[in-house]
Structure 1
Amino acid sequence: MSRDAVKTLFHPFATRTLTPPAQGERVLFLGAEAGFDLPEDFGAAITAVQPFRPLYNGLMRRGIEAQPFTEGEDYDMALVLLNRHRGANENYLADALKRVRPGARIVVAGSKEDGVQSLRKRVGGLGLETEHLAKYHAQAFWFARPVDSETITKALVQPQAFVLDRFVTAPGMFSHGEADPGSVFLARYFPKDYKKLVADFGAGWGFLASEFYSASPNVEGIDLYEADHPSLEAARRNLNTLAPKLSARYFWHDLAREEVKHRYDLIIMNPPFHEGHATEPSLGQAMIKMAASALKSGGELLMVANRGLPYEPVLKELFRTSGEVARNARYKVLSGKK
């Protein structure tokens, strides 16, 4: 089901509060999601950008061509659909300002949970005049790019983070400001001097793969699977710097829905368990099922989870043997062998 905010984004055009862009014009759509209907006279070509693989796939299924990163400049308009990462949203606005022509309109929409109201106030505080309307339990606001937008753009850009003095991350990535404590706990139980082929499911910005390589520098290789494209590219850069001799491959992949073609001796993972703010263990359960199908006979899964998440039944169902390796006050390390 699509979010209401994507309908809110197009509502000003549907009501003629804003004039829809005409045929021959180019519109950049940052954070694009399926679930919108274009007004009849919205004739412009849309360049849709969506870095999260499940949402990207949703656009493609609707016949909306999309890409995971932004390219081009001098767009006639930008649309920005907010998410729940404040820093990522401000980077979206900065990117929009850099890529539209002077005078072009930037239209933004999001829910209260996305921080749309505070972002509108922030934009106004930077000297930009905004207008807004509310619809579908969300709010849209818009403003025109000034001729000189460099100072405003610099004020909006959120800096990269430097984790553990060696990993470069950015706002919007999972645990971008510190190594996730669950991942740190899991890494304690990595085998030493492992020599076979490994996959890191939900690799993020590369922490687990790097820690595994530190424990087993003679590993045959590590394949990293990640749904968030910027995180995957950060992992690539981090491992190129920290483990230049590691044989690594990188897959932008929805592990809950897209088949894994390669087969592995060991899979490590710290699966996500949130859908928005709600705990959703089915995401981790789907990744466990995918791991079971991607392991060779005799292969092993090694994963970490919050202690309260019910992953043991699916492990017992899919693996020849399974059990708990360790636990602390918050987390448990689980294993399964095919």
Structure 2
Amino acid sequence: MSAQLPACQLLERFYGQSANLWPVAPPADAWLQAHSTAMISGDVALREHWSSSGKPAASPFDVPFCQQAGQIVLFWPKAHQLGIWWLKWLCHVLPDNTPVDVIGEHQGGIKRVPKILSELGMRCDKLDNARRCSLFATRTVAMEQPADAWQRFEALNLTLVSHPGVFGHGKVDEGTRLMLESIETSLPKKPLTVLDMGCGDGIISAWLAARGHQVTAVDVSAFAVEACRRTLAANQLSGRVIESDVYSALEGEQFDLIVSNPPFHQEREITYGPSQRLISGTPAHLRAGGQLVIVANGFLPYPDHLQRVFQDVETLADNRRFKVYRARKG
């Protein structure tokens, strides 16, 4: 893990080395993990890391939900509506009047939290601020299950179901549209086994399933996995949807086609880690003659990554903002 993050430095300053925390939607931080009893996260990779160190880690969609010991600390996400969902979820699953702290960086929207808490009928006390972060205290109130965060919309002749925090929430992004347009005529008419890597709300999976292909959809986010399942169900389509940190849950499996609109942001930082792992691991998960098709912002160095792994790489589409690449396994 990297150096201690500013929000965790503030928690250490406030709680000290005797801190006993139960973080919700936490970042990857060694100090936080060492001073926590358990965690809740939508990120399966982070949950697996905590579980490997013997700390309980759960998804918000795990049922039954088991409360753990420790001071609950919600790390405010960059997606404003997702933060509201987390607050409502905590109020739903925890007993009334349970203490909850909320922490975040000023550039990440934490300064809006007092107003949000007030609108939800929750108290707000400022505990501390430092490192351009603030820490607030509140308590849960009686509240119904936060199902209203799920959003349905129509696109590409499909009904999509999305959730705050899922990539492209509430819309189909330009890159995905370009990729689907570029493969519309090039895909074989026979059914293929397809892996949708980083499925988001399931638009690519549903589009392929509607054309008769056998789809496996994976994402590191529990919110994305649930959204994709709901999208397939809303269109009466079938497909396998699982949580996976890139290929971690797919050992030994191979496909005719792997498609992806891979992420390159982690919070506010540009990172190529997941996409590099996607590309480098692809040959082991493609059948002979299989293809990898990915879309990316035009400025990203994906051709270099692809050409280090594949001999046969071509650009299928380029609208100046986005490029679609295809690589074939010999």
Q: Which TM class, normalised by the smaller chain length?
A: 0.7 to 0.9
2:180 alignment partner in structure 1: 187
Counting only pairs closer than 5 Å after superposition, residues 43-82 of structure 1 correspond to structure 2 as: 46-69=37-60, 71-72=64-65, 78-82=72-76
Shift in Å, 1:118: 0.8
Q: Which consecutive aligned stretches of 4+ in structure 1 deviate over 6 angstroms post-superposition?
A: 73-76, 256-259
CA distance in 2, matches of 1:326, 1:179: 17
CA distance in 1, matches of 2:174, 2:226: 22
CA distance in 2, matches of 1:240, 1:310: 36
CA distance in 1, matches of 2:312, 2:24: 45
Q: Residue 33 of structure 1 contacts residue 56 of structure 1 at CA under 8 Å; is this kept in 2?
A: no
Q: Residue 200 of structure 1 contacts residue 223 of structure 1 at CA under 8 Å; is this kept in 2?
A: yes
Q: Residue 33 of structure 1 contacts residue 50 of structure 1 at CA under 8 Å; is this kept in 2?
A: no
CA distance in 1, matches of 2:6, 2:247: 24
C-alpha distance after superposition, 1:113-144 (max 9, x if no partner): 22111112321455543222113442110023
- Cα distance change of structure 1 residues 6 and 193 upon mapping to structure 2, 3 Å threshold: farther
Letter in 2 for 1:4: P
1:172 aligns with 2:165: yes
C-alpha distance after superposition, 1:57-101 (max 9, x if no partner): 332233321012255478886321122111111111111222332
- Cα distance change of structure 1 residues 157 and 135 upon mapping to structure 2, 3 Å threshold: farther
Letter in 2 for 1:201: M
Letter in 1 for 2:10: T
2:10 alignment partner in structure 1: 8
CA distance in 2, matches of 1:10, 1:164: 46
Matched position secondary structure for 1:188: helix
CA distance in 1, matches of 2:67, 2:274: 39
Shift in Å, 1:173: 0.7
1:161 alignment partner in structure 2: 151
2:293 alignment partner in structure 1: 302
CA distance in 1, matches of 2:130, 2:12: 10
1:202 aligns with 2:204: no
Letter in 2 for 1:300: Q
- Cα distance change of structure 1 residues 75 and 64 upon mapping to structure 2, 3 Å threshold: closer
CA distance in 2, matches of 1:34, 1:63: 16
Matched position secondary structure for 1:183: helix
CA distance in 1, matches of 2:272, 2:22: 35
Shift in Å, 1:321: 0.8
Letter in 2 for 1:118: R
- Cα distance change of structure 1 residues 229 and 182 upon mapping to structure 2, 3 Å threshold: same
Letter in 1 for 2:255: Y
C-alpha distance after superposition, 1:255-312 (max 9, x if no partner): 1777643111111111111122233334322211122331122211111111111111
CA distance in 2, matches of 1:170, 1:194: 33
Q: Residue 5 of structure 1 contacts residue 110 of structure 1 at CA under 8 Å; is this kept in 2?
A: yes
Q: Residue 158 of structure 1 contacts residue 171 of structure 1 at CA under 8 Å; is this kept in 2?
A: no
Q: Residue 88 of structure 1 contacts residue 171 of structure 1 at CA under 8 Å; is this kept in 2?
A: yes
Q: Which structure 1 segments of 5+ residues have no match?
A: 22-26
Q: Residue 30 of structure 1 contacts residue 81 of structure 1 at CA under 8 Å; is this kept in 2?
A: yes
Q: Which structure 2 segments of 5+ residues have no match?
A: none
CA distance in 2, matches of 1:201, 1:334: 15
Q: Residue 222 of structure 1 contacts residue 249 of structure 1 at CA under 8 Å; is this kept in 2?
A: yes
C-alpha distance after superposition, 1:177-221 (max 9, x if no partner): 10111111111123152422111111111100111223x31x2x1
CA distance in 1, matches of 2:154, 2:55: 40
Counterpart pick for 2:253 among 253, 262, 270 = 262
Greater displacement, 75-84 / 100-109: 75-84
Task: Please report the RMSD computed on the Cα atoms of aligned residues, expressed in angstroms.
Answer: 3.0
2:124 alignment partner in structure 1: 130
Q: Residue 154 of structure 2 contacts residue 160 of structure 2 at CA under 8 Å; is this kept in 1?
A: yes
Matched position secondary structure for 1:102: coil
CA distance in 2, matches of 1:157, 1:265: 37
TM (norm. structure 1) is 0.82
